[in-house]
A and B are shown apart, each in its own frame.
Chain A
Amino acid sequence: MSGYVEGGTSERLVPRTTDARNAREAAALAARRRGPTVSLWGMAMVVASEGTLFGAFVGSYYYLRFKSPHWPPLGTPEPKVVVPLILVAVLATTSVPMQLAALAARAGRLWATRSFLLVALVVQSGYFAYEVHDYVDQLHRSTPQDNAYSSIYYLLLGADHAHVFFGLLLNVWLLGKLATGLTMYRLNAVQAVALYWHAVNVLTWIVIGTLLSAAA
């Protein structure tokens, strides 16, 4: 029974995962690991913290909303519904290539990983470019200084875009790293960034849903 007490597996059978220097080794060692990695847990902490921040923003939105008889206040334009919903759906679909990239990395398929990341990056960048253009465009019609509605609107939306932008930076960094091969570190990184994007996609749904509820 000493096997259990020492954690079930003897030292000689446990992988030294940071030894992996190329895609094949990384995939072989990753397959022998149990459960989510330390880096995935770390990204989960980031997701929890940022998620709670957005929770505070969304909670504040509803708090301010339920205080006000008119929402948006008279004179402030209602949010457009159709285009933002389409865009959010498009962004959410990038979770698929991101997850496929993570699975490909885990299997040691470097070119597949790079391709999926590139596809995701292209769609995400397109989304971001359009959203920046739209944000600036909306600022011509109303500003955060108008009233509490527009203050929380622009902050919530801006915070979401900022997180998308940071995700773009992460994807670019990943592609840069993967240009010279796949190590265990990079494999872990792809999985962690995929988690980041799943979280951002869910958060964007929640944020857009919240903001568009004013049009109801």
Chain B
Amino acid sequence: MATTVPPPAPAEEVVARLERMWEARPGVLGWVMTTDHKRIGLLFFWTTLALFGAGGVEALLIRTQLIRPDNHLVSPGTFDELFTVHGMTMIFFFIIPASTGVFGNYLLPLMIGARDMAFPRLNALSYWVFLGSAIFLYTSLFMGLAPNAGWFDYVPLANRRFDPGPPIDFYCLAVIFNSLSSTLTASNFIVTIFKMRAPGMSFNRMPLFCFAFLATSFGLLFALPPLSADTIFLFLDRNVGTHFFDVAHGGSTLLWQHLFWIFGHPEVYILIVPAFGIATSIIPAFTQRRLVAFPLVAIAELLVVFIGFGVWAHHMFAVGMPVITVVFFAAATAMVVIPSTVQVFAWCMTFVTGSPQFRTPLLFIAGFIFMFVAGGLTGMMFVAVPFDQQVTDTYFVVAHFHYIIFGAAVFPIFAGFYFWFPKVTGKLYFELPGQISFWVVFVGTNLLFFPMHVVGLEGMTRRVYTYSGGSGWGPENLAESIGGYLTGAGIVLLLGNLLVSWFRGPPAGPDPWRAPTLEWTIPSPPPEYNFAVIPKVSSAYAAWDLADREEDRRKLAEHALVLDQGHEQPVSSPIDGWFSEIVEMPHDSPWPIVLATALSLVFTTLVIHKYAVAGIMGVLVLLALLFWHQEEPQNA
């Protein structure tokens, strides 16, 4: 059974054959059964946008409640639900799915010269599980039973004695359900990055975006299980009568905190490292210069997540741990800032030594660098334990993490929306409204989050429902709330610009930015099969290697490396990218959505405490898994 070389054929015929082979099923069924990473990225996009809106509404309600002293817009109980669900939504249901599910899914295969992820059906499952978990959490909100003990849900407040009833059960199960989606995505990314790179793309020729997503994926893979363990313990304590967190019977309330922050600190790096990847993609394009210190930036992206696994107890500096424990975590926390600093220097030097064009994406990246540095400085201040103990649980902390999360995670997401808009839609966005949206958002977020430093130092604690007039915090809170509305307006303008541009924007062509990575070498929007010819890669800036791109065109004419004998992808060796085998990929499948539905039933029956029924639903899950694996990829 020899592998034959396909006969020569004209380029148009080859492309037509590929299009037929990879054609998506038409209509709604095509979307429901899709395994195409680009479609899944778009599904994630719409869903995360809706959830971002929900989280934003929750934020504006919080800000409106806090706009003046002694306000009673919402009840205290509702306020608790608002800040809890706001935190959960923004972290678990917006930033992570947007950065990994939207940008990672859509762009990773394109950047490595692949036709899809290593596990396309798993990718689809990731999305449907994510959607199920979002519906699960928001059902609790609409039923008035939303989680209400803060996004980190400390025991003993979250235990049965002080918070009986469904809300915290929803917390535990929503978090576990959602973490399944991210674990699947992370696994998929890791295997894809190691095995599915275009042959010849050795590790040192991989774009920095891929390093960022590799680091993020390892972070997710190892950080989510401790959170699952924590929430399993809590669910059992609440509903089965176990004593993991019950001090009277030998348990420990601090155990919750340790496990939570072993997840929680890597989580915050997971939030921002994809943004680093987006920034390192945008800066070379708009400075027309290779990134300064490329190998150092690559290792820094991996190091920040790795060291980030060793700093978790700095979130617990105020609970009374012995000094010897504190020492280990303070030391690691002090040093974990260095990889981030290396990256900031590299970005800034690239600006300075390149020719920056401040189009909207680069404006958002500049804003990102500013806010990341500001937030990083306040973060460094927490290394000083005595200072940390004074400002723990005040608005100073809220200011710090919003500068980081909004500045360092959300700004690059906005930058990325603008930057890749031409690639995804084939249209250019309108530049002037884009620039205005940046300035409105930038001014808004600084007005919103900067005064929080001040009131935090003055003693305003976080999560307070209201405050007295005599506290003197009124003016700052008013400014913050105005900043909040301004930010909201800026975001509406941003999204509106993108929407209008989608309908009315001028055509973009494949490469409006003359950017360096492989996705800019294919048409906009990309065809289903991504690359007609598996690209030749000689560097991390493949689109700027014109000789290689010329050779790709020649190969298309010779019908070489086209891989059109089926739904095919190349697989290479993990480090040096040696061409290893050609595999047939799965196409559309109903099993991801079926399996996700079965999982939703499991979680739903668990939250209403019908455990036997949940067991039966678990059997349905196993059956769905079985049917999924009945289909074996074979040649068409």
Contact surface of A with B, Cβ cutoff 8 Å: 4-9, 11-21, 25, 28-29, 32-35, 38, 41-42, 45-46, 48-50, 52-53, 55-57, 60, 63-64, 67-68, 73, 144-149, 151-152, 155, 169, 173, 183, 185-186
Contact = CB atoms under 8 A, between A and B. Distances in A.
A6 B225 contact: no
A148 B241 contact: no
B626 A173 contact: yes
A207 B633 CA distance: 37
B20 interface: no
A45 B187 contact: yes
The 4 closest A-B pairs by CB, nearest first: A7-B199, A7-B579, A45-B187, A148-B250
Contacts of A7: 198-200, 570, 572, 577-579
Contacts of B635: 16, 18-19
Given A7-B572, A73-B250, 19 more contacts: A7-B577, A14-B579, A16-B565, A18-B633, A18-B635, A25-B1, A38-B118, A38-B583, A48-B222, A53-B225, A55-B225, A56-B229, A56-B259, A64-B252, A67-B252, A148-B246, A152-B244, A169-B622, A173-B629
A151 to B, nearest CB: 4
Contact of A6 (B186, B200, B224, B580): B200
B34 to A, nearest CB: 20
B236 A155 contact: yes
Interface string B577-614: 11111111000000000000000000000000000000
Nearest to A186: B632
B573 interface: yes
Contacts of B563: 11
Nearest to A65: B250
Interface of B: 1, 3-5, 118-119, 122, 183, 186-187, 190-191, 194-196, 198-200, 221-222, 224-226, 228-230, 232-233, 236-237, 240-244, 246, 249-252, 255, 258-259, 262, 536-538, 560-561, 563, 565-566, 568, 570-574, 577-584, 622, 626, 629, 632-635
Given A41-B191, A42-B187, A63 B633 contact: no
Given A18-B634, A53-B229, A145 B243 contact: yes
A61 to B, nearest CB: 10
A64 B579 contact: no
A38 B226 contact: no
Contacts of B568: 16
Contacts of B232: 155
Contacts of A56: 225-226, 228-230, 259, 262
Contacts of A13: 3
Nearest to B551: A2
5 contacts: A5-B538, A17-B581, A67-B252, A144-B242, A148-B250
B200 A4 contact: yes
Contacts of B584: 16, 18-19
A151 B251 contact: yes
Nearest to A144: B242
B195 A8 contact: no
B545 to A, nearest CB: 10
Contacts of B246: 148
A38 B196 CA distance: 9
Contacts of B194: 41
A149 B246 CA distance: 11
Greatest chain B CB density within 10 A among A33, A49, A73, A149 is at: A49
B262 A63 contact: no
Given A14-B581, A16-B582, A42-B187, A49 B195 contact: no
A16 B568 CA distance: 9
Contacts of A64: 244, 250-252, 255
A67 B252 CA distance: 8
A157 to B, nearest CB: 13
Contact of B574 (A9, A35, A45, A49): A35
Chain A CB within 10 Å, residue with most, of B187, B561, B629: B187
A60 B627 CA distance: 37
A11 B118 contact: no
A39 B119 CA distance: 9
Contacts of A60: 229, 233, 244, 255, 259
Nearest to A34: B580
Contact of B241 (A28, A41, A145, A169): A145
Given A16-B568, A18-B583, A151 B221 contact: no
Nearest to B631: A185
A155 B242 contact: yes
Given A34-B580, A147-B243, A46 B560 contact: no
B580 A14 contact: yes
A147 B250 CA distance: 6
Contacts of B578: 7-9, 34
A45 B3 contact: no
A52 to B, nearest CB: 4
Contacts of A6: 199-200, 536, 561, 579
A151 B571 contact: no
Given A5-B538, A145-B240, A35 B191 contact: no
Contacts of B244: 60, 64, 148, 151-152
A21 B232 CA distance: 44
Contacts of A17: 581-583
A47 B351 CA distance: 43
Contacts of B255: 60, 63-64
A123 B308 CA distance: 42
A60 B246 CA distance: 14
Given A5-B537, A60-B233, A14 B582 contact: yes
A68 B246 CA distance: 13
Contacts of B574: 35
Contacts of B572: 7
Contact of A144 (B195, B240, B262): B240
A38 B570 CA distance: 11
Contacts of B233: 60, 155
Nearest to A66: B252
A203 B252 CA distance: 25
B561 A11 contact: yes
A173 B229 CA distance: 28
A64 B572 CA distance: 46
Nearest to B250: A148
Contacts of A63: 252, 255, 258
